[in-house]
Amino acid sequence: MKHKEECLARDARKAASVSRSGLLEKASEIADMKNCIKNMILNQRSNASKKIELMKKMANRKKRAANDEIQELRVQMAKEAMAANKLGDITKCDPK
């Protein structure tokens, strides 16, 4: 009887050990999955940040181009106004 009890106790310890090792394997798999998901999320955030930064640069470039065009128009209009002022209006001049 004692031999039978020892065998049962040994089998119980072995089963507990196997279940603990199985749990450790599952825990390591879960940790690996968490790390993988964390890395994926960090990569997605990084890519999103890069896209946002690129969009901001493009918007700033368009804004600068529009401001440059406005400035060119101002300069052109000022030149035309100065030329008109220099020549004067013949219809308003009194020919004497």
**Distance from C-alpha of 55 to C-alpha of 53, rounded to nearest angstrom:** 5
DSSP state of 92: G
Tell me: the pLDDT tens digits for 25-34? 888 889 999 9
The yes-or-no verdict on residue 79 having pLDDT over 80 is yes
Which pLDDT band holds residue 49 (cuts at 50, 70, 90)?
very high
- The alpha carbon of 12 is separated from its chain's Cα centroid by a whole number of angstroms, namely 54
- Answering whether pTM is above 0.85, one says no
Cα 1–Cα 7–Cα 23 angle in degrees, nearest 5: 150
Residue 81: name the closest of 93, 70, 89 by CA: 89
Cα diameter, the chain: 145
